[in-house]
Structure 1
Amino acid sequence: MMETQALDFPKINAVLRTNGTGEVTINGTSHPIEAADEAAVLTDALRLITETAAQLGRPVRVSTTDPDGQGLIIVSPDGAVSEATPIKRTSRREQDTLPVTDAPSPAPAQATTAPTREALQSEEAPEDPTRAEPVTFGAAVTDAAAQGAAPASIPAAEEPAGRRSLKDTSFLISTPVLQPATRGWRGALSRLGFRMDPSPEELAEREDIRTVSQHWPGPRTVAVVNRKGGANKTPTVVMLSAILARYSGAATVAWDNNESQGTLGWRTEQGSHNNSVLDLIDSSQALLSPSAQAAEIARFVHHQTSDKFDVLRSDENDEGDHEVTAEEVDIAHQVLTRYYRLIVMDSGNTARAANWRRMIHHTNQLVVPVTAIEDRAEAARLTLQTLESRGGHDAELARNAVVIVSESTDAKRSMSGDALKRAKDEARRIADGFAPHVRAVVRIPYDPALVNGPIRYEALQPATQRAWLAAAAAMAKGF
């Protein structure tokens, strides 16, 4: 009733920001709000809106905007808040052309209506005045049954028509209870006691979290590949590993499978030792022995204290000339699958290298990162084309690959409006170009926290975190 009384006049827009500011605009008049936190901003905004509703003596409709999206709420003169339901008006012409669907069948535990006497009389069998109408399971008791007489048409040993087996019946509720909103206007209102359903954006985020939080039977290996340097391979490995470890809680390792020296160790936290993949290979016999304990792997990997995954570094000996072989990849992979559920592999730039090709042999899901620069995109295309041409397992990986397109950093450094637009347009063009050829494409916005130094998930902007979560969920769907 409150919603039907809320008219489109006055036009009210409310904006809630995460930095402790907001704005309520009533018929074009802006009322900026600054407060200590999001809850205080919401309280001031609701006060302004409630005062307007009280002056009018009726509820008002409010369009809300927050980082999580847009919505509609109804605010009454007494301060009560509810979520508005958009009403889609259907014209008579549309009603005449609406498709006709079959009527839904009754729910399994729902009582069905007993056949009418007229329906029984229409059967070919002669009418029997002593015959009682059949009783369906869960239906009301007929007069004959109420008087204690057994229905003449149902033998004592025969199941009544419509009765279901107890094996097919359950009183457990299979659908989980929808938790109230936690984000934006809906979340802020829920914390104030007005229970609001989550927005479509929040529901999508919850689904992505559910996807990456699963535990799969057996280990899973992800290969992050692009034959061109500077394509964002190492940041991609770090971010995917961090999200998998944070949300799933599964033991996760990021492995730098560069044939000589890689950069994964430079962008992550170093442990109390200098060991690399070569040291792990040298100790593989002990690590694979039945008496080996899980904690012994810590002597060879570098734990990321905030993002909860481990890093297996490549050889960083400047004077060394050892290149990892295919056999050594097999040994290292055998060790890591003994200690970890999830393995995310960084790679070099040579698709012909023995360790690169052996990595692909162990891969369950391929991820191809690319910055929105044409030579990086072309290198990614050629990488996928090479795998596809090899057929078999390699081709299947290419067809089911996830391409992650990151916006160029050069345009962001210039801070030019035109350059920023061109960067976004180029990222969109490249993403659209890959879309018909792979399973999923995800775009990542520019974030300065990914450019230099050690990478930390918490250092990213919220929009970047959300984009990487979507990328990890797209990847995990391939498991």
Structure 2
Amino acid sequence: MGTTQTEVMAFPNIRAIVRDNGTAEVVVAGNSRIVPAGDSVQELRNNALALIVGEAQTLQRPVRVRIEDPEGHGELIVHPDNKIESVSYEPAPARRRAEAPETTPTTVAPAVIDAVPAPASEPVAAPATAAPVDARPWTPAPATATPEPQTAAVVEEAAPTRRSLKETSFLVSAPVLEPATRGWRGTLTRLGLRMDPSAEELTEREDIRSVSQHWPGPRTIAVVNRKGGANKTPTVVMLSAILARYSGAATVAWDNNESQGTLGWRTEKGFHDRSVLDLIDASTELLSPSTNAAEIAKFVHHQTADKFDVLRSDENEEGDHEVTAEEVDIAHQVLTRYYRLVVMDSGNTARAANWRRMIDHTNQLVVPVTAIEDRAEAARLTLQTLESRGGHDAELARNAVVIVSESTDAKRSMSGEALKRAKDEAQRIADGFAPFVRAVVRIPYDPALVNGPIRYEALQPATQRAWLAAAAAVAAGF
């Protein structure tokens, strides 16, 4: 039995566009992915469907897709096993008749596609079953009455229709693939022999494109784990740095600990000692229409190299104030007026009022975990708690990004066997979370993340690349 339209979530918003100039793209949550070229419109459709099947497999559930091509538009349901269902399809109006129709009505026999062809770099497993798909459109067209035979005399009476200039365009050039810049391919390109980029470089370019997008309205990311030492603060710093660097969007990292957090200890301190409580006290002034945008600098601490700001938690030595839900609302209202991206660090108590109110404001949940079993178990319980609450909380848990960092015990001084065990444990934990969340990303051990202020440029290249992939997975949820 097919999946009905109401059973498939509209998240993320997916569109597949095939143009008659030989180009196509798949847009997932506002992020465009170029479809590999094909020799025909049908091949472009198949290549676009391969990307959508990959998205469904990543989400491990069917997805809804709006389709547009030269022959019409409509909506599909695409399953992880490659099954395609039609929700609606409306053929494009005929522009003109080139010749008289035959006097005997004909029908097109539906063809069964066993599997959606995938680009070489993204193989898709063959499904057990597939939906019948018409040889020309994406899926079976809606049933229509058999057309009545027409005579040639009727066609002769029809005047030819002149095409509108709105129906054509001279901008038909396909996107240009920039040559390789990395590795031996990049070396040959610089020597004058143009080389296409490798699959790894193409993947990196796609991640950069994902984190460089601008989204309508502000977005809030919550970084949560009920266990201390799970890498929450380094995760907040790295996501803020990468999103701010590549997107250019005003970004703030907010330490939403109940009392005193550590985000301020791992980042640069500005020319003042103000914290979130000072910002809340000044909220009336900061929300006034007459207040200049630069006034927010009095309350946040700018990171000169990584281009984001930090809102510190209260550093009162007595630690006698716990942030309330109402104060979270006020601070969030202020920050989303001045920033497009808000990345929230958190404490370890999922029952705290400020923790729960943070979740109410969250668009994307991130759960960091080091490859130690008690940190992983705490992450699982955090997700389970949110899922049990239902509604918005459960949706955040299902679409969470889990970031697994290799244990800080995996130091260079460890033997090769011990290092292998540490990596295997990280992989085991990553594999364990994969069926329950939208994405899991592994981060290699890097001493620059262990102690002191965290700087993106201080990381090893492999670690920078891994965090870019993590930020791209987060941005895909916007």
Quote the offset at 1:168 in angstroms.
2.5
SS at match of 2:263: coil
For 2:358, the equivalent position in structure 1 comes to 359
Secondary structure of the 1:266 match is helix
The aligned counterpart of 1:280 is: 279
Task: Give distance in 1, aligned partners of 2:428 and 2:44.
Answer: 44
Partners of 1:311 and 1:437 in 2: CA distance: 31
Give how far 1:431 is off. Answer: 0.3
Q: Which amino acid aligns with 2:227?
A: K
**Aligned equivalent of 2:290:** 291
- Which residue type is aligned with residue 288 of structure 1? L
Partner SS for 1:473: helix
Deviation >6 Å, runs of 4+: 101-105
Question: With structure 2 as the length reference, what TM-score do the two structures score?
Answer: 0.68
Letter in 1 for 2:290: S
Give yes or no for contact 1:412–1:419 (8 Å, CA) kept in 2: no
Q: Which amino acid aligns with 1:176?
A: P
The residue number in structure 1 matching 2:464 is 465
Question: 2:347 is matched with which residue?
Answer: 348
Contact 1:265–1:314 under 8 Å retained in 2: yes
Q: Deviations over 1:19-74 (max 9, x none)?
A: xxxxxxxxxxxxxxxxxxxxxxxxxxxxxxxxxxxxxxxxxxxxxxxxxxxxxxxx
Contact 1:367/1:402 (CA < 8 Å) preserved in 2?
yes
Alpha-carbon distance in structure 1 between the residues aligned to 2:42 and 2:310: 56
Alignment match, 2:476: 477
Matches within 5 A, 1:385-424: 385-412=384-411, 414-424=413-423
Residues 41-440 of structure 1 mapped to structure 2, 5 A cutoff: 158-159=159-160, 165-173=164-172, 175-412=174-411, 414-440=413-439
SS of match in other structure, 1:410: coil
Output the CA distance in 2 between the equivalents of 1:469 and 1:276.
29
- 1:173, CA displacement in angstroms? 2.9
Structure 1 Cα separation of the partners of residues 298 and 387 of structure 2: 38
Q: Give CA deviations for 1:322-369 in whole Å, capped at 9, x if unaligned.
A: 110101000000000000000000000000000000000000000000
CA contact 2:410–2:445 (8 Å) conserved in 1: no
Paired residue secondary structure (2:265): coil
Residue 164 (structure 1) shift? 5.2
Deviations 1:411-431 (A, max 9, x none): 325421111000100000000
Q: Structure 2, unaligned stretches of length 5 or more?
A: 1-40, 46-68, 72-97, 105-152
| Residue type of the alignment partner of 1:159 | P
8 Å CA contact retained: 2:260, 2:319 = no
How much does 1:273 deviate?
Answer: 0.6
> Secondary structure of the residue that 2:258 maps to in structure 1?
coil
Residues 166 and 325 of structure 1: CA distance in aligned 2, closer, same or farther (over 3 Å) = same
Between the aligned partners of 1:103 and 1:320, the Cα distance in structure 2 is 63
Residue deviations 1:291-317 (CA, integer Å, cap 9, x gap): 111100000000000000000000111
Counterparts of 2:278 and 2:368 in 1: how far apart (Å)? 29
How far 1:159 moved relative to its partner?
A: 1.4
Q: Secondary structure at the match of 2:343?
A: strand
Map Cα deviations across residues 190-214 of structure 1 (whole Å, 9 max, x no partner).
Answer: 1111111111111111111111111
Give the drift of 1:154. Answer: 7.3
- The alpha-carbon distance between structure 1 residues 102 and 328, as it changes in their structure 2 partners (threshold 3 A), is closer
Cα RMSD for the two superposed structures: 2.7
Deviation digits for residues 258-301 of structure 1 (CA, Å, limit 9, x no counterpart): 00110000100111111100110010010001111110000000
SS of structure 1 residue aligned to 2:266: coil
- 1 CA distance for matches of 2:287 and 2:70? 53
Count of matched residue pairs: 344
Q: Which amino acid aligns with 1:453?
A: G
CA distance in 1, matches of 2:182, 2:271: 40
Q: Using the alignment, how far apart are the partners of 1:104 and 1:311 within structure 2? A: 46
Amino acid at match of 1:441: V
Q: Distance in 1 between matches of 2:365 and 2:399?
A: 7
Structure 1 counterpart of 2:292, which letter?
Answer: Q
Report the residue type matching 1:357 in the other structure: R
Report the counterpart of residue 72 of structure 1 in structure 2: none
1:157 Cα shift? 6.7
Following TM superposition, by how much is the alpha carbon of 1:409 offset from its aligned partner in structure 2, in angstroms? 1.2
The letter of the residue matching 1:239 is M
- In the alignment, the residues of structure 1 paired with residue 387 and residue 103 of structure 2 have an alpha-carbon distance, to the nearest angstrom, of 65
Instruction: Give the aligned residue type for 2:278.
Output: D
**Cα distance in 1 between the residues matched to 2:410 and 2:338:** 42
Find the aligned partners of 2:185 and 2:235 in 1 and give their Cα distance: 32
The whole-number CA distance in structure 1 between the counterparts of 2:423 and 2:163 is 59
CA distance in 2: counterparts of 1:256 and 1:457, whole angstroms: 19
Decide whether the 8 Å contact of 1:270 with 1:302 is kept in 2: yes
Query: 1:104 & 1:264 partners in 2: Cα distance?
Result: 48
CA distance in 2 between counterparts of 1:104 and 1:248 reads: 30
Q: Distance in 2 between matches of 1:413 and 1:347?
A: 31
Distance 1:186 1:433, change over 3 A: same
Identity value in percent = 86
> How far apart, CA to CA, are the structure 2 residues paired with 1:216 and 1:435?
27
CA distance in 2, matches of 1:436, 1:104: 30
CA distance in 2, matches of 1:104, 1:295: 49
Give the residue type in structure 1 aligned to 2:160: E
Match of 2:4 in 1: none
Q: How much does 1:123 deviate? A: 6.6
Output the CA distance in 1 between the equivalents of 2:341 and 2:448. 25
User: Given that residues 235 and 450 in structure 1 are in contact (C-alpha distance below 8 angstroms), is that contact kept between their aligned partners in structure 2?
Assistant: yes
- Cα deviation per residue 1:433-474 (whole Å; 9 max; x = unaligned)? 000000000000111111111111111111111110110010
The CA distance in 1 between the partners of 2:378 and 2:411, in whole Å, is 23
